[in-house]
Amino acid sequence: MLAFLFPGQGSQYAGMGKTLSDNFPLARQVFEEANDALSFDLASLCYNGPDDELKLTQNTQPAILTTSVAALRVIQTETDLAPDFAAGHSLGEYSALVCSGALSFVDAVRTVRQRGLFMQDAVPVGVGAMAAVLGLAREPLAEVCEQAAEGQVVSPANFNSEGQVVIAGHTEAVERAMALAKERGAKRAMPLPVSAPFHCALMQPAGERLADVLAEIDMSAMALPVISNVEATPNQDAGRVRDLLIQQVSAPVRWEDTIRQMLALEVDHFVEIGPGKVLCGLMKRMARGSVIQNVQDPDDVRTLISN
């Protein structure tokens, strides 16, 4: 069985999507659709940067989505690959929903632009933080977060793979949790260069604002199941998509559980579609023996075709 995976924030880089657009008119068309939908030159930002503009959450989210969907459209026309499942890491879930047919690309790119703004506005810069904790199991880390909170917010935000969990919350609480995690045996605990504490209770105001945007969007029948970040189980009911996306903003990303669910469903071929190879790196630890590929430029497309 085959699954298409879509990356989230942190995978962006200046130059992404350019060679794909130069070689495939369909990819270029996707970037043009994004420019029209957002009323600014997102394509130029993806192709040329600058990095500091690309790293702004409200730009990063539509940029990664657009690059991912451009690569997806090329795969859909240049190969006969038909996925059995799709999933995306945080923001990437929107790309997966475009793949499934639940969301139109234009609706998705407009929504994630707003999502990025809402998430940035939810917490003033400097008030929140995120950190990666390596080498500490879930239960001990949850206890660390509870003890470090001291009336503030800090909690697991991304369960990326076994022994790799990202925490998020108030800056001081995250710092206390990092120190305590090291005391409890974590191999490393390091702050992440992000502008807001995603996927924790501090994001609830962003979820409430996002609900108003999603209420105006039509969801279409899903051609394949998307394994949601919130539940880590397949969903093919378009009527549930809105609630899952609203919850996703402040709930942890259960990525490790998502991949283990796919493996249990006998998926043995994974294609990461979009910029970077973050998900491929995580997959290699969890899905040994599976075929794991990445598609972000014309050479990757040619490799996919030849295989």
The backbone region for 15, taken as left when phi is positive above 0, alpha when psi lies in -120 to 50, beta otherwise, is left
Residues in the chain: 307
Residue 145 CB neighbour total at 10 angstroms: 26
Told to judge if 104 belongs to the known catalytic residues of this protein, a careful annotator would answer no
Residue 286 pLDDT: 86
Told to judge if 199 belongs to the known catalytic residues of this protein, a careful annotator would answer yes
H/E segment holding residue 264: helix 255-264
The candidate with the shortest Cα–Cα distance to 7, out of 72, 68, 81, is 68
- HEC string of 271-307 equals EEECCCCHHHHHHHHHCCCCEEEEECCHHHHHHHHHC
Domains and CATH numbers, the chain: 2-122+202-306 (3.40.366.10), 128-194 (3.30.70.250)
Q: Which two tokens stand for residue 209?
A: 């604002």
With 0.85 as the threshold, say if the pTM is over it: yes
Query: What are residue 226's phi and psi, to 5 degrees?
Result: -110, 130
Q: Active-site residue among 11, 195, 199, 228?
A: 199
Low-confidence ranges of the chain (pLDDT < 50): none
Q: Active-site residue among 11, 21, 90, 155?
A: 90
Residue 191 pLDDT: 95
- Which residue reads 């998926």 in tokens? 267
Residue 103 pLDDT: 98
Buried-exposed string 55-93: b where 16+ CB fall within 10 A, e elsewhere = bebbbbbbbbbbbbbbbbbbbeebeeeebbbbbbbbbbb
Residue 168 pLDDT: 97
Burial label, 45 (beta-carbon count in 10 A; 0-12, 13-18, 19+):
buried
